[in-house]
Chain A
């Protein structure tokens, strides 16, 4: 049975992710977002680059700093909130999306970020992640994927490639990995993006789009862990290797990549493939459409666990009413009938009164 909810016209296509968050009174700088806590990641850790990018991009949102909240789980990356001078909660392993959901539903005036790792988001917290995405709760999720458990000193994770030798897999992992982007699309996420820790420009652009998106936005960040998974993304960093692998996408633009756009993405069967641009008719080059879920799935599947290709940018972005907006609208609508009467509630339909030893029953009229 479906019911017409008679909702106040909450046009999600009109409302941006930050529209209910108070604007900053004056321009801000990265320094304003820097807390007094000493940053304690290992030297060379990719998390530093992401932190720098986040500190720099937050001021561009022009929202009040105290209305920004970072909620994290457990892992190296989840230390993130301590290093930002915003409100923050470093919570428990895997549960940040659940905590952020309660916060986002009760406080529309906040911009809520979740910081999580590949183990935190995809192992112990996998359930919360997919449900936050399908509900489309207004939050921005930064998933730091270093394809390893960093904090617990180097066990394989749900994104580690098959065959990976780690402390807990001395003769190689036999676990098939998740692709976080494909997983998020499967969970019906309304915003899915990917960026590289060291690509300040690309990362900032995706993060900003994600923060401004109304709904749950997942940004997978490829992040280097030089201690336990050194160089895991090197094939995407070394220019020679990256040339035929790194596929940046922009909504509305033909997908070509490599030096001078040497490579193009084309349709092949129900999916996509890569071909030399010179051998492809211009009209056969796929134009990125972030609202096309079929295309998003196909793009996600271009990326394999061997990183033969990796798509970066905003892979999907569509508008769908958010859980928190709808939930608040139901409460507001119920309250619109005037002040609720607690006395009437607790009395219920049938009461009787005892006075001075006599019972007076009060049948309803």
Chain B
């Protein structure tokens, strides 16, 4: 008689799940997370991710410093953040358990690779007794799985070395989780075979490990239940999963296409901006030239040189690199050439926290140059939004002939989410006209004559007959562009450059205030959009009246900004710095602004922020 097969129980439905994969930097946790994300995307879930990894490429094995994690939030409805606390924690070693367990709520699911819980590994992270058997894990639903040895055993027939075999254990974990959450599996198997196409034996090992993990879930009674998270019904459209750096790179390519200009990137590698350089380097077929310069200054210098020659010049960097570039940004202000300067912010000051996120470069972007050197500043609010923000920054640069600062950050750069893919024809027309003719009645060419509407000066590129002229960093005489030390001229030119930037067309600030009666406005910028949106949802669910708005344009601010600020009794600005936007708004409008700040290298959690906003909304609702 055949052994009884356990009845296949129907998967239980969940509306959303947060999974965190944690392991050693060498364990491939980012890859595992990326794949699970791709599976969720292919399934049609809404999702948001938070990679969190150390700055060291390979910190000492098994130590707390070497822990790398990847958190994924996926749901059957639209979600705004990568989730505060995981429902499921996969810990590949004691260090991963030790550094992540604090975030797992009681009752949460914990999946451990027991093979790694050796006395030596336990001692490395200061466990006196093994949490596997000292009762400290009792509050959780624990699955003890000998992932390493199961993987090695499954791969034995392939004749791989032990080290290579062990390396596939992350795919075992992925297989197991894919089974638990009823994920489609073909995509991952196909992806593995493509990724390791040149080393078929490694591809095979990973596929086998993945299938072994999947089968382990299926056949082990410990995992009696599977879950299902249905696809999310988002607004109509075609979607893909995208990270912020990729979306930003695509936005630059799209902008150059819409402008009919070649794209020139001058850049020096720096975390977390390098992926934009990597991505664009692969897109030469779109007429993209990438130049890996000797330093950040050369990166922006070359981009400005290319812009002078008629290309869409771009330079990409992170905070420390932006500091180096600023003298050249000033030159671009003076020469009034279009230029995109992308700062993917990370924790500072100095080298700071290279792999963590922060928004502390805002004032550097707005003010960090010598002299009165106004520069438009644009900030994307999410990974997918980085595409639109890049296109918009290009629009401003090309229309107004000015450098533009695009402020992304680590959370946007490495996080990913579904992106409703745009059609090329829906993107703005960014075509530019180079100057080809003299622009005075008497047949002269004035390189600093201005368009009456935009105040932009003509873009006369070298090679244009009859328009030869000299530009540079010395103060320009209005109109002719000749060197001028005249006091009145300087006064006029400083004010003209400011007026040009002040006059950049940006849409009004939109306020989300469902009943138009909220006493409190929560105002954010950049990547805090997700946490603010999620926190405001929570407050509203709890019965509070609260409005929210988000700034895409930091310079110039939307025309209605002051009016919006004045129409609320309390304005709260959450930021990942010590209050830079709050400072800016108070300085600009002399309105009181409450500042809620966090500089932990991590985004606000939704619950955390809701809690911090609660006193403002509760206070407001006490009847006077």
Main SS at interface, chain A = mixed
Asked whether any CB of chain A lies closer than 8 Å to the CB of B298, the reply is yes
Name the distance in Å between A349's Cβ and chain B's nearest Cβ.
8
Name the distance in Å between B206's Cβ and chain A's nearest Cβ.
18
> Complex: how many Å from CA A363 to CA B423?
21
- Residues B301 and A342 in contact, CB atoms below 8 Å apart: no
> Complex: how many Å from CA A104 to CA B285?
20
How many chain B residues sit at the interface, stated as a range, is 35 or more
Contact status of A327 and B462, CB under 8 A, knowing A88-B471, A99-B308: no
> Complex: how many Å from CA A131 to CA B298?
10
Of the listed stretches A54-62, A212-220, A351-359, chain B binds A351-359
Complex: chain A residue closest to B422, CB-CB? A346
- Residues B462 and A82 in contact, CB atoms below 8 Å apart: no
Contact partners of B190 in chain A: CB under 8 A:
364
Q: Which of B420-456 contact A (CB under 8 A)?
A: 421-424
- Residues B264 and A127 in contact, CB atoms below 8 Å apart: no
- Residues A361 and B264 in contact, CB atoms below 8 Å apart: no
Name the distance in Å between B271's Cβ and chain A's nearest Cβ.
21
- Residues A101 and B305 in contact, CB atoms below 8 Å apart: yes
Q: Mark A317-350, 1 if CB is under 8 A from B, else 0.
A: 0000000000110110111010010110111101
Please indicate which of the listed interface residues B238, B284, B462, B464 has the most CB atoms of chain A within 10 Å of its own CB: B462
Name the distance in Å between A79's Cβ and chain B's nearest Cβ.
9
Complex: chain A residue closest to B290, CB-CB? A327
Contact partners of B461 in chain A: CB under 8 A:
107
Complex: chain B residue closest to A80, CB-CB? B470
- Residues A363 and B283 in contact, CB atoms below 8 Å apart: no
> Complex: how many Å from CA A100 to CA B304?
9
Please indicate which of the listed interface residues A66, A102, A106 has the most CB atoms of chain B within 10 Å of its own CB: A102
- Residues A110 and B266 in contact, CB atoms below 8 Å apart: no
Complex: chain A residue closest to B42, CB-CB? A350
Asked whether any CB of chain A lies closer than 8 Å to the CB of B237, the reply is yes
How many chain A residues sit at the interface, stated as a range, is 35 or more
> Complex: how many Å from CA A57 to CA B44?
68
- Residues B283 and A87 in contact, CB atoms below 8 Å apart: no
Please indicate which of the listed interface residues A72, A105, A327, A358 has the most CB atoms of chain B within 10 Å of its own CB: A105
- Residues B284 and A335 in contact, CB atoms below 8 Å apart: yes
Asked whether any CB of chain B lies closer than 8 Å to the CB of A208, the reply is no
Q: Which of B328, B463, B473 lies in contact with A90, CB distance below 8 A?
A: B473
- Residues B238 and A353 in contact, CB atoms below 8 Å apart: yes
5 residue pairs bridging A and B, Cβ less than 8 Å apart: A64-B465, A85-B468, A98-B293, A98-B299, A345-B250
Q: Beyond the given A89-B308, A109-B463, A352-B239, could you list 4 further A-B residue pairs with CB under 8 A, ordered by the A residue number?
A: A103-B305, A107-B309, A327-B289, A351-B421
* B interface residues with partner A (beta carbon < 8 Å): 38, 41-44, 184, 186-187, 190, 231-242, 250, 253-254, 257, 262, 264, 266, 283-289, 291, 293-295, 297-299, 301-311, 313, 327-328, 330-331, 335, 387, 421-424, 461-474, 482-483
* A interface residues with partner B (beta carbon < 8 Å): 35, 37, 64-67, 69, 71-72, 74, 81-82, 85-92, 95, 98-107, 109-110, 127-128, 131, 327-328, 330-331, 333-335, 337, 340, 342-343, 345-348, 350-359, 361, 363-364
